[in-house]
Amino acid sequence: MAKNFVTNKDVTVRMFRSDIMEFLSRVHPAIPLIIYVPVIFYFLYRSVFVVQLSFASIFVLIIFGVFVWTLTEYSLHRFVFHHKFSSPFGERIHFIFHGVHHDYPMDSRRLVMPPSVSIPLAALFYYLFFLIFGSSLVAPFFIGFLTGYLFYDMTHYAVHHFNIHNKFWLALKKHHIRHHFQDPDKGYGVSSPMWDKIIGTDFLTQESDADENI
């Protein structure tokens, strides 16, 4: 099997000449929680006390938001992060956004999405969902969407750095490790392999030499 990474040790590589840009490209795994958990509580407050939606409506919209996130996660990972560019500039952009993670998969400061990327994306998605759902229903839906995102980010960090024994989490870990060390064109789901199974990008074998890299 061809080696498709530089190192699987927790080391980092400098990506930018600018110290500011380099600083913004690295993030502690707790940062997404610090940023987005208060946002989730704000939208929960709006759902209950401002819009005054019923518990059932809030619950259904949150679940739907999580569901939409899983498809968004799969789509971004497959069609954006793994888009194959033909130009040197495109290859540079790909390396900055995702290629560096495949070259240095255990780099603990580049495992969760930096706020410089996640905040503009969150704002863009919120505006899109606001147009779709309107001001009354967007809040609980966005709670689910953000919860799905946080679960993805925390799962991504955990499968690379936690010593996992629980069967559920171990299955997620093995699925993602195969994406890195067996076939980067399969296994795009990180927090859930559901869309890989539905669309046909799941791994056919249950055991692999890639598991030795866990």
Q: How many CB atoms neighbour CB 25 within 10 A? A: 19
pTM for the structure as a whole: 0.91
Domain borders along the chain are 19-168
Residue-wise pLDDT for 130-183, tens only, equals 999 999 999 999 999 999 999 999 999 999 999 888 999 999 999 999 999 999
Alpha-carbon span 173 to 176, nearest angstrom? 5
| Mean pLDDT of all residues belonging to the chain | 90
The Cα-based distances of 176 to 109, 115, 188 in angstroms read 18, 23, 8
- Determine contact, residues 109/28, Cβ cutoff 8 Å: yes
Taking only the tens place, the pLDDT of each residue in 90-140 is 888 888 889 889 989 888 888 999 999 999 999 999 999 999 999 999 999
Q: Dihedral through CA 79, CA 81, CA 86, CA 90, nearest 10?
A: 130
According to the model, what pLDDT value does residue 210 have? 45
The dihedral through the CA atoms of 208, 202, 121, 84 has a sign that is positive
Question: What pLDDT is recorded for position 205?
Answer: 59
Tokens at 198, concatenated: 């539905």
Q: What is the pLDDT of residue 90?
A: 85
